[in-house]
Chains A and B, each alone.
Chain A
């Protein structure tokens, strides 16, 4: 089955700086890669996703890049703000399979 690894497990960034979280996946059939933000005690919220037919996607301060050959994808947050502090999870899913496999999560702390 799919295995998703995520690094780092914790990340502290000065407000205004950029944050990068990286994930690798094992199943070459995976073609959908969402990123979720989860605040304490709340449900995960989709913040951005990318499909395997593109290499990069951007939405305001958030961007995701995908390298299919290397089987890794990354989340980039620019101009970080205190409200970006949360736990972020990457995930992967293969075509025709509705099941998502999650990474281990990254606790991002923005230092004011």
Chain B
């Protein structure tokens, strides 16, 4: 199956700093990628849809100026959490659909802890 790689897997940062998370499709091209956030013992909540070469589409209630998304190539999307605060601590997971089947493949996830 297709492989999606996410980096870093864990990051701890101080309040007020920015953190960048990368999501790569390793063996296929992804014009669209999805960013999810998952709080402990909760479901995956879609934050935004990353579109290659154009602006991301954000879900209602997600601050686009706080969660910057860049999809500069067909294999890479980045999520930057700007001015992070403790309430941003969560598990962030990216995903990309297979070109052929549309099946969604997930990255390993990034656990962000903001002190």
Q: How many residues of A contact B (CB 8 A)?
A: 19
**Shortest Cβ gap from B79 to chain A (Å):** 15
Which residues in A have their C-beta under 8 angstroms from that of B67?
Answer: none
**Is there an interface contact between B103 and A46, defined as CB atoms closer than 8 Å?**
yes
CB 8 Å contact bits of B34-58 with A (1 = contact, 0 = none): 1000000111111001000000000
Give B residues with C-beta under 8 Å from A: 32, 34, 41-46, 49, 91, 93, 97, 102-104, 106-109, 111
Give A residues with C-beta under 8 Å from B: 32, 34, 41-46, 49, 89, 98-105, 107
Distance in angstroms between the alpha carbons of A101 and B59 in the assembled complex: 12
**Is there an interface contact between A43 and B102, defined as CB atoms closer than 8 Å?**
no
Nearest neighbor of A45 in chain B, beta-carbon distance: B106
**Is there an interface contact between B107 and A32, defined as CB atoms closer than 8 Å?**
no
Distance in angstroms between the alpha carbons of A46 and B109 in the assembled complex: 15
Which residues in B have their C-beta under 8 angstroms from that of A99?
Answer: 34, 46, 49
**Is there an interface contact between A42 and B109, defined as CB atoms closer than 8 Å?**
yes
**Shortest Cβ gap from A47 to chain B (Å):** 12
Nearest neighbor of B33 in chain A, beta-carbon distance: A98
- Residue from the set A42, A99, A107 with the largest chain B CB neighbour count within 10 Å: A99
Distance in angstroms between the alpha carbons of A54 and B3 in the assembled complex: 28
Q: A41-B111, A43-B109, A99-B34 are in contact. Are A105 and B104 (CB under 8 A)?
A: no
What would 17 A/B residue contacts be, using CB atoms closer than 8 Å? A34-B104, A41-B91, A41-B109, A41-B111, A42-B108, A43-B93, A43-B109, A46-B104, A49-B103, A89-B43, A98-B49, A98-B97, A100-B34, A101-B46, A102-B43, A102-B45, A104-B43
